[in-house]
Structure formats: C-alpha cells, structure tokens
C-alpha cells in the first residue's frame, strides 16, 4: 500500500472528513483491520485565510510548498491538497516536491464525464467560482460547460463557507439558501452541481436535493484510496 500525503487544515473540519473517508475506503477495499498509511501536515488556516483575502497568493503558495515538503519527507508517495481553493497554488506546490499531486479538479471532472454530463454548476469560494485555476481546468482539459451563480449569490455562498462552515457551524437557513441557488443553476441548464469547497458537504448532501451532487471531498478521498492500493 502506498502512503497517502495529506496537506490539511484548510479547514480542519473538512480535513477530518478526509481522514475518516480514506480510512473507511481502505477498510472497505482490504477488509480486516486495514487502515490507510497517511502522512499529514495540517497548517494554521487563520494564516492562510489572511493571505487569501489580502491577495498574497505567492505567500500562501510558499507556506503550502513548505508544508508539502514536510509531507514528502514523512514518506508520502503522492499528495492531496485537501481544499479546492488552494489548488490555485498547486503548480507552486508541485515545483517544490518530487511526488505527484492528485489534483482534485481532475478527479471530479472524471466523475462528471463518467456520468455523461456536459453542463455543470460550480459552488465554492469566490476564488474558485470566479478564477480560472479551477473552472478553467474543467473547461479546457475536460470540455465541460461550467455555470456559476450570479455575483450576489456568489457572495452568499462564499460568506457561508468562511463565516459558518469553516467554523463548524451548520445552519438550516444557510442550507435553504444553497438549495435555492442550486435550483437556480438547474433552471439555467446545470445537469449536476460540483460542491467545489470541501466544507459544503457538511451543509448539503444528496438527501437534500434531487439535483446530482459531486462531493469533491468524497471524490478526492476515493481517488486517493484507489491510488494507494493499485
């Protein structure tokens, strides 16, 4: 079994999900008392969040690159950046290490293509919804049509992530807002929705809507399990 490298803490609530899902996946695949070989470094999200919102992506990338070096030094065979937004600095992180990054957007896009979908809605932080590091990869590499909410709704999605979900708060009123936004994306042609922030699954699960959801946290964890045992 390969050792899975996790670059976590962004936020720790979703990193906890990664740890559980990966170990459950290894047990399901191998049985018995098997658990995952994991090397993890968890950063202080307060520091990363401040750099995000100050536009200091070079500094954030440097911080993650340093943490990734620690993960590699601990024996990881490949790396997961346990957050959608920080894939913005994935190229900078990859340059700092010799092990490959299992890219979250690639894993998600493959699931969407396997489901036979072409037009997909994307929810996440403003960085993820508005910039090309994630959305552009889906369009250019996988030829998907990606829809995002209008600006006012993007602000709602972003605020709930940082002010609630990253603090472990799950509010019914916020779920209602997300479901409204999901329905709007469906009315515009979205065949499914990417939960493009690893915390969103805390708020909205498939039981809450009949619109197909692509939970990036679970998808990334499942891909890590398959990579570890292949």
- Catalytic residue numbers? 83, 197
Token code pair at residue 201: 């699954």
The 3-state secondary structure of 20-60 reads HHHHHHHHHHHCCCCCCCEEEEECCHHHHHHHHHCCCHHHH
Give every CB contact of residue 112 below 8 A, 6+ residues apart in sequence: 120, 142, 144, 192, 194, 214
Which residue from 199, 146, 228 is spatially nearest to 8, judged by alpha carbons? 199
Give the integer Cα–Cα distance in Å for 68 and 54.
22
Give the integer Cα–Cα distance in Å for 159 and 154.
9
- Which secondary-structure segment (H or E) carries 147? strand 145-147
């Amino acid at each position: 079994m390969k050792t899975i490298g996790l670059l976590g803490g962004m936020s720790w609530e979703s990193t906890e999900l990664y740890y559980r899902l990966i170990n459950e996946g290894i047990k399901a695949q191998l049985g018995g008392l098997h658990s995952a070989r994991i090397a993890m470094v968890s950063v202080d999200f307060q520091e990363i969040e401040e750099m995000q919102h100050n536009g200091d992506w070079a500094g954030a990338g440097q911080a993650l690159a340093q943490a990734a070096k620690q993960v590699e030094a601990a024996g990881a065979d490949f790396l997961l950046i346990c957050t959608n937004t920080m894939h913005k600095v994935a190229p900078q992180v990859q340059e700092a290490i010799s092990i490959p990054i299992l890219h979250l957007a690639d894993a998600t896009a493959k699931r969407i293509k396997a489901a036979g979908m072409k037009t997909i809605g994307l929810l996440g932080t403003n960085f993820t919804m508005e910039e090309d590091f994630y959305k552009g990869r889906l369009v250019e590499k996988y030829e998907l049509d990606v829809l995002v909410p209008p600006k006012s709704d993007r602000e709602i999605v972003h605020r709930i992530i940082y002010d609630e979900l990253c603090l472990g708060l799950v509010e019914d009123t916020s779920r209602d807002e997300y479901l409204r936004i999901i329905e709007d994306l469906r009315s515009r042609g979205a065949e499914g929705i990417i939960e493009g922030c690893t915390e969103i699954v805390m708020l909205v699960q498939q039981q809450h809507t009949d619109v197909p959801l692509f939970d990036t946290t679970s998808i990334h964890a499942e891909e890590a399990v398959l990579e570890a045992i292949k």
